[in-house]
Chain A
Amino acid sequence: MHRFANPARFLKIARPATVWLFAIGLILAAGGVIGGLTLSSPDYLQGETVRIMYVHVPAAWLGMAGWAGIAAASLAQLVWRHPLATVAGRALAPAGATFAAICLLTGSIWGRPTWGTWWEWDGRLTSMLILFFLYLAYIALAGAEKERGGEGRIAALFGLVGAINLPIIHYSVLWWRTLHQAQSFGVEGSSIDPSILWPLPLSALGFTCLFGAAVLMRMRAELAEAKVEARMRRAAAE
Protein backbone atom coordinates (compact mmCIF):
# COMPACT_ATOMS: atom_id res chain seq x y z
CA MET A 1 0.00 0.00 0.00
CA HIS A 2 2.89 2.34 0.80
CA ARG A 3 4.17 1.78 -2.76
CA PHE A 4 1.51 4.30 -3.84
CA ALA A 5 2.34 6.79 -1.08
CA ASN A 6 4.28 8.82 -3.63
CA PRO A 7 1.73 11.03 -5.48
CA ALA A 8 3.85 10.97 -8.68
CA ARG A 9 3.77 7.15 -8.73
CA PHE A 10 0.06 7.17 -7.96
CA LEU A 11 -0.66 9.65 -10.78
CA LYS A 12 1.30 7.51 -13.26
CA ILE A 13 -1.20 4.71 -12.63
CA ALA A 14 -4.28 6.89 -12.02
CA ARG A 15 -4.11 8.74 -15.38
CA PRO A 16 -4.58 5.69 -17.66
CA ALA A 17 -6.80 3.97 -15.04
CA THR A 18 -9.27 6.91 -15.16
CA VAL A 19 -9.71 6.54 -18.94
CA TRP A 20 -10.01 2.74 -18.81
CA LEU A 21 -12.47 2.74 -15.92
CA PHE A 22 -14.60 5.38 -17.64
CA ALA A 23 -14.64 3.55 -21.00
CA ILE A 24 -15.31 0.08 -19.54
CA GLY A 25 -17.87 1.52 -17.12
CA LEU A 26 -19.73 3.30 -19.89
CA ILE A 27 -19.93 0.15 -22.06
CA LEU A 28 -21.00 -2.15 -19.20
CA ALA A 29 -23.50 0.31 -17.68
CA ALA A 30 -25.02 0.98 -21.12
CA GLY A 31 -25.28 -2.80 -21.71
CA GLY A 32 -26.94 -3.32 -18.32
CA VAL A 33 -29.35 -0.40 -18.71
CA ILE A 34 -30.35 -1.22 -22.31
CA GLY A 35 -30.64 -4.93 -21.49
CA GLY A 36 -32.63 -4.13 -18.36
CA LEU A 37 -35.02 -1.80 -20.17
CA THR A 38 -35.58 -3.78 -23.36
CA LEU A 39 -34.46 -7.41 -23.17
CA SER A 40 -35.13 -8.73 -19.65
CA SER A 41 -38.53 -10.08 -18.63
CA PRO A 42 -41.06 -8.18 -16.50
CA ASP A 43 -41.80 -9.68 -13.07
CA TYR A 44 -45.04 -11.70 -12.66
CA LEU A 45 -45.96 -9.62 -9.57
CA GLN A 46 -44.22 -6.24 -9.95
CA GLY A 47 -44.59 -6.02 -13.73
CA GLU A 48 -42.33 -3.50 -15.48
CA THR A 49 -41.29 -1.70 -12.27
CA VAL A 50 -38.83 -4.51 -11.52
CA ARG A 51 -36.58 -2.83 -14.12
CA ILE A 52 -35.79 -0.10 -11.53
CA MET A 53 -33.65 -2.78 -9.85
CA TYR A 54 -30.89 -2.35 -12.47
CA VAL A 55 -30.15 1.20 -11.25
CA HIS A 56 -31.37 0.93 -7.64
CA VAL A 57 -29.25 -2.07 -6.55
CA PRO A 58 -25.92 -0.77 -7.99
CA ALA A 59 -26.64 2.62 -6.35
CA ALA A 60 -27.29 0.93 -2.97
CA TRP A 61 -24.09 -1.12 -3.29
CA LEU A 62 -22.01 1.93 -4.24
CA GLY A 63 -23.54 4.10 -1.51
CA MET A 64 -22.37 1.51 1.04
CA ALA A 65 -19.07 0.69 -0.69
CA GLY A 66 -18.23 4.41 -0.75
CA TRP A 67 -18.45 4.62 3.03
CA ALA A 68 -16.50 1.34 3.43
CA GLY A 69 -13.80 3.03 1.32
CA ILE A 70 -13.90 6.14 3.53
CA ALA A 71 -13.53 3.92 6.64
CA ALA A 72 -10.54 2.09 5.09
CA ALA A 73 -8.93 5.42 4.07
CA SER A 74 -9.57 6.81 7.58
CA LEU A 75 -7.88 3.77 9.14
CA ALA A 76 -4.89 4.13 6.77
CA GLN A 77 -4.66 7.80 7.70
CA LEU A 78 -4.91 7.36 11.46
CA VAL A 79 -2.78 4.22 11.81
CA TRP A 80 -0.21 4.39 8.98
CA ARG A 81 -0.44 8.12 8.18
CA HIS A 82 -0.71 7.22 4.49
CA PRO A 83 -0.33 10.50 2.55
CA LEU A 84 -3.02 9.63 -0.01
CA ALA A 85 -5.59 8.47 2.54
CA THR A 86 -7.00 11.96 3.27
CA VAL A 87 -7.24 12.65 -0.46
CA ALA A 88 -8.98 9.29 -1.04
CA GLY A 89 -11.52 9.94 1.75
CA ARG A 90 -12.36 13.39 0.43
CA ALA A 91 -12.67 12.04 -3.14
CA LEU A 92 -14.92 9.12 -2.14
CA ALA A 93 -17.47 11.22 -0.22
CA PRO A 94 -19.23 13.13 -3.06
CA ALA A 95 -19.41 9.98 -5.23
CA GLY A 96 -20.80 7.92 -2.34
CA ALA A 97 -23.31 10.65 -1.45
CA THR A 98 -24.51 10.82 -5.06
CA PHE A 99 -25.15 7.07 -5.22
CA ALA A 100 -26.79 7.02 -1.77
CA ALA A 101 -29.13 9.77 -3.03
CA ILE A 102 -29.83 7.81 -6.26
CA CYS A 103 -30.61 4.74 -4.14
CA LEU A 104 -33.06 6.67 -1.93
CA LEU A 105 -34.81 8.39 -4.84
CA THR A 106 -35.11 5.33 -7.12
CA GLY A 107 -36.20 3.25 -4.10
CA SER A 108 -38.92 5.77 -3.32
CA ILE A 109 -40.10 5.72 -6.96
CA TRP A 110 -40.09 1.90 -6.89
CA GLY A 111 -41.98 1.90 -3.59
CA ARG A 112 -44.97 3.92 -4.84
CA PRO A 113 -46.39 1.32 -7.28
CA THR A 114 -45.07 -1.69 -5.29
CA TRP A 115 -45.89 -0.80 -1.67
CA GLY A 116 -48.38 2.03 -2.31
CA THR A 117 -46.19 4.64 -0.57
CA TRP A 118 -43.26 6.89 -1.49
CA TRP A 119 -41.68 6.59 1.96
CA GLU A 120 -41.96 4.56 5.15
CA TRP A 121 -39.79 4.77 8.29
CA ASP A 122 -38.68 1.21 7.67
CA GLY A 123 -35.30 -0.02 9.02
CA ARG A 124 -33.57 -0.27 5.63
CA LEU A 125 -34.91 3.04 4.28
CA THR A 126 -34.12 4.94 7.49
CA SER A 127 -30.57 3.55 7.86
CA MET A 128 -29.88 4.41 4.20
CA LEU A 129 -31.16 7.97 4.77
CA ILE A 130 -28.82 8.20 7.79
CA LEU A 131 -25.93 7.10 5.53
CA PHE A 132 -26.76 9.96 3.13
CA PHE A 133 -26.73 12.46 6.03
CA LEU A 134 -23.43 10.98 7.26
CA TYR A 135 -21.95 11.68 3.81
CA LEU A 136 -23.12 15.31 3.96
CA ALA A 137 -21.62 15.70 7.45
CA TYR A 138 -18.33 14.11 6.33
CA ILE A 139 -18.11 16.43 3.29
CA ALA A 140 -18.72 19.49 5.51
CA LEU A 141 -16.24 18.30 8.17
CA ALA A 142 -13.47 17.37 5.71
CA GLY A 143 -13.99 20.66 3.82
CA ALA A 144 -13.78 22.72 7.02
CA GLU A 145 -10.61 20.89 8.13
CA LYS A 146 -9.01 21.40 4.71
CA GLU A 147 -9.78 25.11 4.80
CA ARG A 148 -8.28 25.37 8.28
CA GLY A 149 -5.12 23.61 7.08
CA GLY A 150 -5.72 20.60 9.33
CA GLU A 151 -4.64 17.02 8.66
CA GLY A 152 -8.21 15.77 8.45
CA ARG A 153 -7.99 13.65 11.62
CA ILE A 154 -11.46 14.63 12.90
CA ALA A 155 -13.00 13.69 9.54
CA ALA A 156 -11.05 10.39 9.64
CA LEU A 157 -12.41 9.60 13.11
CA PHE A 158 -15.91 10.45 11.87
CA GLY A 159 -15.34 8.17 8.86
CA LEU A 160 -14.45 5.26 11.15
CA VAL A 161 -17.31 5.82 13.61
CA GLY A 162 -19.81 6.24 10.74
CA ALA A 163 -18.94 2.73 9.49
CA ILE A 164 -21.11 1.38 12.36
CA ASN A 165 -24.06 2.22 10.11
CA LEU A 166 -22.96 -0.25 7.39
CA PRO A 167 -23.82 -3.52 9.24
CA ILE A 168 -27.02 -1.81 10.44
CA ILE A 169 -28.05 -1.18 6.80
CA HIS A 170 -27.08 -4.72 5.81
CA TYR A 171 -28.93 -6.52 8.64
CA SER A 172 -31.84 -4.05 8.91
CA VAL A 173 -34.06 -6.29 6.75
CA LEU A 174 -33.52 -9.15 9.21
CA TRP A 175 -33.67 -7.17 12.46
CA TRP A 176 -36.77 -5.12 11.62
CA ARG A 177 -39.05 -7.01 9.25
CA THR A 178 -41.31 -4.16 8.14
CA LEU A 179 -41.63 -3.09 4.50
CA HIS A 180 -38.36 -3.61 2.62
CA GLN A 181 -37.96 -7.12 1.24
CA ALA A 182 -35.30 -9.45 2.67
CA GLN A 183 -31.98 -9.89 0.90
CA SER A 184 -32.31 -11.39 -2.61
CA PHE A 185 -28.57 -12.02 -3.10
CA GLY A 186 -26.13 -13.97 -0.99
CA VAL A 187 -23.07 -16.20 -1.19
CA GLU A 188 -25.30 -19.16 -1.97
CA GLY A 189 -26.87 -17.42 -4.98
CA SER A 190 -29.95 -15.37 -5.76
CA SER A 191 -33.68 -15.91 -5.35
CA ILE A 192 -34.35 -13.86 -8.53
CA ASP A 193 -35.14 -15.68 -11.77
CA PRO A 194 -32.17 -15.66 -14.24
CA SER A 195 -34.37 -14.13 -17.00
CA ILE A 196 -34.69 -11.01 -14.80
CA LEU A 197 -31.32 -11.15 -13.05
CA TRP A 198 -28.84 -11.19 -15.97
CA PRO A 199 -28.52 -7.40 -16.68
CA LEU A 200 -27.82 -6.69 -12.99
CA PRO A 201 -24.15 -7.82 -12.87
CA LEU A 202 -23.51 -5.77 -16.03
CA SER A 203 -25.00 -2.56 -14.64
CA ALA A 204 -23.47 -3.13 -11.16
CA LEU A 205 -19.98 -3.59 -12.62
CA GLY A 206 -20.50 -0.70 -15.06
CA PHE A 207 -21.63 1.77 -12.40
CA THR A 208 -18.79 0.57 -10.13
CA CYS A 209 -16.23 1.40 -12.85
CA LEU A 210 -17.85 4.84 -13.38
CA PHE A 211 -17.75 5.39 -9.60
CA GLY A 212 -14.03 4.45 -9.66
CA ALA A 213 -13.38 6.88 -12.54
CA ALA A 214 -15.14 9.73 -10.66
CA VAL A 215 -13.12 9.00 -7.48
CA LEU A 216 -9.83 8.94 -9.41
CA MET A 217 -10.70 12.23 -11.12
CA ARG A 218 -11.47 13.82 -7.75
CA MET A 219 -8.22 12.46 -6.28
CA ARG A 220 -6.27 13.95 -9.20
CA ALA A 221 -8.07 17.29 -8.67
CA GLU A 222 -7.29 17.23 -4.93
CA LEU A 223 -3.60 16.45 -5.59
CA ALA A 224 -3.30 19.23 -8.21
CA GLU A 225 -5.03 21.73 -5.88
CA ALA A 226 -2.64 20.75 -3.05
CA LYS A 227 0.33 21.25 -5.40
CA VAL A 228 -0.88 24.75 -6.37
CA GLU A 229 -1.52 25.65 -2.75
CA ALA A 230 1.95 24.48 -1.65
CA ARG A 231 3.64 26.47 -4.45
CA MET A 232 1.65 29.61 -3.60
CA ARG A 233 2.57 29.25 0.07
CA ARG A 234 6.24 28.79 -0.84
CA ALA A 235 6.13 31.83 -3.16
CA ALA A 236 4.53 33.96 -0.45
CA ALA A 237 7.20 32.90 2.06
CA GLU A 238 10.11 33.78 -0.31
Chain B
Amino acid sequence: MSHWSFVTAAYAIALLATAGLLAWAFVSMRKAEAAAEELKRQR
Protein backbone atom coordinates (compact mmCIF):
# COMPACT_ATOMS: atom_id res chain seq x y z
CA MET B 1 0.00 0.00 0.00
CA SER B 2 1.25 3.48 -0.80
CA HIS B 3 1.61 6.16 1.87
CA TRP B 4 -1.30 8.08 0.35
CA SER B 5 -3.71 5.21 1.12
CA PHE B 6 -2.94 5.61 4.85
CA VAL B 7 -3.19 9.41 4.63
CA THR B 8 -6.56 9.18 2.82
CA ALA B 9 -7.96 6.71 5.37
CA ALA B 10 -6.86 8.87 8.33
CA TYR B 11 -8.37 12.04 6.84
CA ALA B 12 -11.61 10.26 5.89
CA ILE B 13 -12.05 9.02 9.48
CA ALA B 14 -11.18 12.40 11.03
CA LEU B 15 -13.40 14.47 8.72
CA LEU B 16 -16.38 12.09 8.73
CA ALA B 17 -16.31 11.72 12.52
CA THR B 18 -16.08 15.52 13.02
CA ALA B 19 -18.90 16.13 10.51
CA GLY B 20 -20.99 13.41 12.20
CA LEU B 21 -20.47 14.97 15.65
CA LEU B 22 -21.43 18.44 14.38
CA ALA B 23 -24.50 17.13 12.50
CA TRP B 24 -25.72 15.17 15.55
CA ALA B 25 -25.16 18.16 17.87
CA PHE B 26 -26.99 20.48 15.42
CA VAL B 27 -29.98 18.17 14.86
CA SER B 28 -30.41 17.43 18.59
CA MET B 29 -30.18 21.17 19.38
CA ARG B 30 -32.76 22.12 16.73
CA LYS B 31 -35.11 19.35 17.88
CA ALA B 32 -34.85 20.30 21.57
CA GLU B 33 -35.19 24.04 20.93
CA ALA B 34 -38.19 23.49 18.62
CA ALA B 35 -39.89 21.37 21.32
CA ALA B 36 -39.24 24.10 23.93
CA GLU B 37 -40.61 26.78 21.56
CA GLU B 38 -43.69 24.69 20.81
CA LEU B 39 -44.43 24.22 24.50
CA LYS B 40 -43.98 27.96 25.09
CA ARG B 41 -46.47 28.74 22.28
CA GLN B 42 -49.05 26.32 23.72
CA ARG B 43 -49.12 28.12 27.09
A48 to B4, CA, bound (A): 7
- Please, which residues of chain B bring their CB within 8 A of the CB of A232? 39
Number of chain A residues whose Cβ lies closer than 8 Å to a Cβ of chain B: 39
Q: Is the interface of B mostly helix, strand, loop or mixed?
A: helix
Chain B stretch 8-23: residues in CB contact (< 8 A) with chain A: 9-11, 13-15, 17-18, 20-22
Chain A stretch 207-238: residues in CB contact (< 8 A) with chain B: 207, 210, 213-215, 217-218, 220-222, 224-225, 227-228, 231-232
Q: Is the interface of A mostly helix, strand, loop or mixed?
A: helix
* Cβ-defined contact, A55 with B25, below 8 A: no
Q: Per a CB cutoff under 8 Å, which of A52, A95, A102, A224 touches B7?
A: A52
State the A residues within 8 Å of B (CB): 22, 29, 33, 37, 47-49, 51-52, 55-56, 59, 94-95, 98, 101-102, 105-106, 109-110, 112-113, 207, 210, 213-215, 217-218, 220-222, 224-225, 227-228, 231-232
State the B residues within 8 Å of A (CB): 1-4, 6-7, 9-11, 13-15, 17-18, 20-22, 24-26, 28-29, 31-33, 35-36, 39, 43
